[in-house]
Amino acid sequence: MPAKIIDGTAVARAMRADLEPQIAELKERGVTPGLTVVLVGQHPASQVYVRMKGKACEEAGLRSDTIRLAETTPESELLALIDRLNADPCVHGILVQLPLPRQISTHRVLHRILPGKDVDGFHPENVGKVAAGDPTGFRPATPYGVQQLLVRSGVETRGAHAVIVGRSNIVGRPMASLLLQDGPGGNATVTVCHSRTRDLPSVTRLADILVAAMGKPRFVTADMIRPGAVVIDVGVNRVDDPRKKKGYRLVGDVDFEPALGVASAITPVPGGVGPMTITMLLYNTVQAARQ
């Protein structure tokens, strides 16, 4: 029997509906949650993500601003902008779209955003809070979205062996923290794999829940998946496809079609983790306005 498709679009839609009363309550108190996104340069994928975030905010009734800066913007100018946004009471969430141009230190930029406005969850204070299980910390949107997908799809994480392929600060490491925590979507036994992991397939085949987040198209093949495992594909990769009008198509980090015959449930690309990432950004922005 082919794997059940975990529909991230449907789950995201339901979660946004759940958020509506919270937004309405804040507005009754005179507070409209506000997110400001800063985009430096003309990175094609970043421009798409920023447009999607702005559209999602508008549909949810949040105030959304996008500030676009030139590719040649000096670091000092960007830091000064962040200082102004930090001081603006109408801005509850600040998101600086990555990647940044080479002349700008990502480390310095992310550390400059006030922790209380860091809705991306990348400031060290929020990283520490999430690792400690402090609910006032902002959980990075993609791992947060994966956790909610598991919970709302009825996937039992308690006692399950979760294997994460990829150790980035954006997905892999915070994903491990969330799956380890006590509560819904947690209490898993977690293994984090990376480029130095020996005999990777032997480790991934131990997973009850396999999270692929290494950014390599179709890297996880069917023989790396334990029969009946739940597979969460975080990857979004462009591959050439002359049959498509744009000349490319999007694929995940999992070789999807063969994996369908092995996994019990799997997320598609697109339409899996992606819609959840933007939804959890909305949740974080509302949380920032409330706090």
pLDDT tens, residue by residue, 77-97: 999 999 999 999 999 999 999
Contacts of 282 (CB under 8 A, 6+ apart): 16, 19, 56, 57, 60, 62
Amino acid at 140: P
53: left (phi over 0), alpha (psi -120 to 50) or beta: alpha
Locate all alpha helices (DSSP H) within the chain, ordered by sequence: 8-28, 44-60, 75-87, 106-112, 124-132, 141-152, 172-180, 200-204, 256-260, 273-290
Which sequence spans correspond to the domains of the chain?
30-116, 140-274
- Angstrom distance (rounded) from CA 45 to CA 53: 12
In this predicted structure, what is the pLDDT of residue 64? 94
Topology annotation, domain 140-274: Rossmann fold (3.40.50)
Contacts within 8 Å (CB) and 24+ apart, 66-72? 66/36, 66/37, 66/38, 66/39, 67/36, 67/37, 67/38, 67/39, 68/39, 68/40, 69/38, 69/39, 69/40, 69/41, 70/40, 70/41, 71/40, 71/41, 71/42, 71/101, 72/101, 72/103
Locate all alpha helices (DSSP H) within 159-272, ordered by sequence: 172-180, 200-204, 256-260
In this predicted structure, what is the pLDDT of residue 245? 84
In this predicted structure, what is the pLDDT of residue 29? 96
- What pTM did the predictor assign? 0.94
Homologous superfamily assigned to 30-116: Leucine Dehydrogenase, chain A, domain 1 (3.40.50.10860)
Catalytic positions are: 53, 97, 120
Cis peptide before 21 (omega within 30 of 0): no
Residue 183, token pair as written in the block = 């509560």
Q: What angle do CA 23, 28, 31 make, to 5 degrees?
A: 65
Smallest CA-to-CA distance from 78 within 42, 47, 106 is with 106
Question: How many angstroms separate the most distant Cα atoms in the chain?
Answer: 57
The continuous run of DSSP H or E covering 237 comes out as strand 237-240
Domains 30-116 and 140-274 share a fold: yes
Q: Find out whether 91 and 84 touch, Cβ atoms under 8 Å.
A: no
Q: Identify the sign of the CA torsion 82, 36, 270, 247.
A: negative
In this predicted structure, what is the pLDDT of residue 241? 85
- Report residues of the chain scoring pLDDT below 70: none
Find tokens 């500030």 and name the residue: 67
Report how far apart, in Å, the C-alpha atoms of 194 and of each of 39, 101, 174, 210, 212 are: 30, 26, 14, 13, 11
Smallest CA-to-CA distance from 273 within 3, 1, 8, 4 is with 8
In this predicted structure, what is the pLDDT of residue 46? 82
How are strands ordered across the β-sheet holding 63-69? 63-69, 34-40, 93-96
In this predicted structure, what is the pLDDT of residue 144? 98
Q: Find out whether 95 and 85 touch, Cβ atoms under 8 Å.
A: no
Instruction: Please state, as a whole number, how many other Cβ atoms lie within 10 Å of the Cβ of residue 220.
Output: 26
